[in-house]
Amino acid sequence: MTGDLSPIDKAKFVAARRAADLVEDGMRVGLGTGSTAAWLVRCLGEAVRDDGLKIRGVPTSARTAALAREVGIEVISLDEARWLDITIDGADEFDADLNLIKGGGGALLQEKIVATASDRMVVIADAGKEVEALGAFPLPAEVIPFGWQTTRALIEETLVGMDVLGRDITLRMNGDRPFVTDEGNHILDLHLRRIGNPRQLALVLNQLPGVVENGLFLDICDTVVVGHGDGRVELRDLNEGTVEEGRLDFVDSDNLFRDISD
């Protein structure tokens, strides 16, 4: 079945497959949210089923929790785990320093909490997610519903003094209603085009009343696994300063890998 995938999905699959090799027996594993992270959960489920891998997973969203249980991964809460050995998640953008924009799937708050409660954070992504400067992907800001329009106005005012190219802000929608996160909040998408000083922006945004968290993940990611549509995969370790390259062959798989979607 994997042989029928589009090049983008093949890239996501090989990145997830390579990252799954980093998970060892007995680990407490943070499980990300989104289409690439779903491949990872499926790969780990296969290892649990076929190889007897014993892990406990801490999902970053309700839909990841449902998928993990479906493929046979033991699911626990972060409070039960207390600390994690590794978190593996996707990203909407990453730069050369492994700074990220995350939150396209709407789970940025839980994702950031889980990632920072881990000894190691690994990002899995297709090669198209790598950028010279963050900001082409809209930056999500999770805000409480009460007074969200006032919060948006505060963000707009704040952006005037920031090193960004755009300042448009949209409320994320789910059909004709505002999108609601697992915590019951809304998401404002900041269309900035380029972020000149991510650290300053992240700090300022989180000081605004009504903003719960933003999608800039800075100094959190240790490793990125980059997949390509032809099966090539790179593992870049920021701390070690190393790059490992390899290639994965595509083989037919069973229904464990069907219906992967955001």
Q: What positions carry a catalytic annotation? A: 111
Residue 101 has φ and ψ, to the nearest 5°, of: -110, 125
Q: Please tell me whether 91 is known to bind a ligand.
A: yes
Of 54, 204, 76, nearest to 139 by C-alpha is 204
Q: Please tell me whether 104 is known to bind a ligand.
A: yes
Q: Please tell me whether 166 is known to bind a ligand.
A: no
Q: 98 in the Ramachandran plot: left (φ > 0), alpha (ψ -120 to 50) or beta?
A: left
Q: Please tell me whether 36 is known to bind a ligand.
A: yes
- Which DSSP string corresponds to 51-114? H----EEEESSHHHHHHHHHTT-EE--HHHH-SBSEEEE--SEE-TT--EE--TTS-HHHHHHH
| Helix %, strand %, coil % of the chain (to 5) | 30, 25, 40
Q: Please tell me whether 103 is known to bind a ligand.
A: yes
Q: Please tell me whether 112 is known to bind a ligand.
A: no
Q: Please tell me whether 34 is known to bind a ligand.
A: yes
Q: Please tell me whether 105 is known to bind a ligand.
A: yes
Q: Please tell me whether 252 is known to bind a ligand.
A: no
Nearby residues of 211 by Cβ (< 8 Å), 6 or more positions away: 141, 142, 143, 151, 155, 205
Instruction: Let me know: does 30 contact 118? Beta carbons within 8 Å.
Output: yes
Q: Please tell me whether 196 is known to bind a ligand.
A: no
> In the numeric block, which tokens belong to residue 74?
């033991």
Q: Please tell me whether 150 is known to bind a ligand.
A: no
- H/E stretch holding 13: helix 7-20
- Residue set of the binding site: 33-36, 89-92, 102-105, 129
**Which residues does the annotation place in the binding site for substrate?**
33-36, 89-92, 102-105, 129
